[in-house]
Amino acid sequence: MNLFPNSTKEIPQTGKIPRHIAIIMDGNGRWAKQRFLPRVAGHKRGVEAVKEVIKACIERGVEFLTLFAFSSENWRRPQEEVSVLMQLFVLALEQEVAKLHENNIRFKVVGDIDRFEPQLVKLIREAEALTANNTRLTLTIAANYGGRWDIMQAVQHMFLDRPQLAKGFNEDDLAPYLAMHYAPEPDLFIRTGGEQRISNFLLWQMAYTEMYFTEALWPDFNSQSLNLAILSYQQRERRFGRTSEQLEEATSPAAKADAVTLAKQLRRAKQNA
């Protein structure tokens, strides 16, 4: 049974604030290079940006935040950098999980974590268990994650549980086995660092997600940067297959007035950026 609407089968309710934001945090290495620093300095500064964005999401009423920390393709990076990233992950879990719990934040990790060292896997499982009942924000870290892997593992687990579906199945049958079955589809996808692709991230889940790309490098991304992304999102027509005319008919006068106000806010935010 699906907890959240499937955007290809029904029109989900949307609001001015995206319920679920997904981010590819790109540009740590370039940020460090611009400052003649080692790449690890960029990754460390990126952790601080994560803290600021978590706080900003809570202040704005975002319910789900998903961060792409390490893709299944990132193992191709230099071994030294991979080792540093794993060490930073361990350090962040050791230092930050208690704070997440104190702030009523649920922590989740999606991805094939069996490849990680046992110490890291243990910390992940303990953090998930500790924060399982928290409700203020669900923070998901995608680690050793790939969108194609997600779909493949979902199919495999579905057939193990329900072998009769080998004769035929639909989206609702598969959905509970996807890695992020506990969250609604992302409303807004943000990628920092100037690249304009989704890089095998949440391929199934982002069927109708609004995309926002920014030149800002991840260590420079802050609450004002998030404001710009959300204001851009608020200007989008989320039609879900409908025409603009149908959307206009379904929009209340109050919502139309809000749209005018938001347009003014967007202009001001761009001027102040």
Q: Are 41 and 205 in contact (CB under 8 A)?
A: no
Q: What pLDDT does 14 receive? A: 79
Residue 266 has a pLDDT of 55
Angle CA(230)–CA(233)–CA(239) in degrees, nearest 5? 155
CA–centroid distance for 270 within its chain: 24
Coarse DSSP helix, strand, coil percentages of the chain, rounded to the nearest 5 percent: 50, 15, 35
* CATH for 20-236 (3.40.50.720, 3.40.1180.10, 2.60.120.310, 3.40.190.10): 3.40.1180.10
Share of the chain above pLDDT 90, in %: 78
Residue 213 phi, psi (nearest 5): -115, 135
Indicate yes or no: pTM above 0.85.
yes
**Catalytic-labelled residue, pool 2, 6, 74, 172:** 74
How far is Cα 41 from Cα 28, in angstroms, rounded to an integer?
A: 8
Active site residue 161: no
Predicted pLDDT at 4: 82
Spell out the long-range contacts of 240-246 with Cβ–Cβ below 8 A and sequence spacing 24 or more: 240/7, 240/11, 240/12, 240/208, 242/11
pLDDT digits (tens, 9 = 90+) for 171-180: 999 999 999 9
pLDDT tens-place values along the chain, 273 residues long: 567 877 766 766 778 999 999 999 999 999 999 999 999 999 999 999 999 999 999 999 999 999 999 999 999 988 989 999 999 999 999 999 999 999 999 999 999 999 999 999 999 999 999 999 999 999 999 999 999 999 999 999 999 999 999 999 999 999 999 999 999 999 999 999 999 999 999 999 999 999 999 999 999 999 999 999 999 999 887 755 556 555 566 655 555 555 555 556 556 665 666
How would you classify the pairing of strands 210-213 and 137-145? unpaired
Write down the pLDDT at residue 6. Answer: 75
In percent, the amount of the chain with pLDDT more than 70 equals 85
Positive or negative, the Cα torsion across 76, 109, 101, 26?
Answer: positive
What is the pLDDT at residue 15?
86
Domain boundaries, the chain: 20-236
Task: State residue 5's pLDDT score.
Answer: 72
pLDDT digits (tens, 9 = 90+) for 64-107: 999 999 999 999 988 989 999 999 999 999 999 999 999 999 99
Q: Which of 26, 28, 144, 187 is catalytic?
A: 26
pLDDT at 3: 72
**Whether 26 is catalytic:** yes
Q: Are 70 and 58 in contact, with CB atoms under 8 Å apart?
A: no
Identify whether the C-beta of residue 218 lies closer than 8 Å to the C-beta of residue 49. Answer: yes
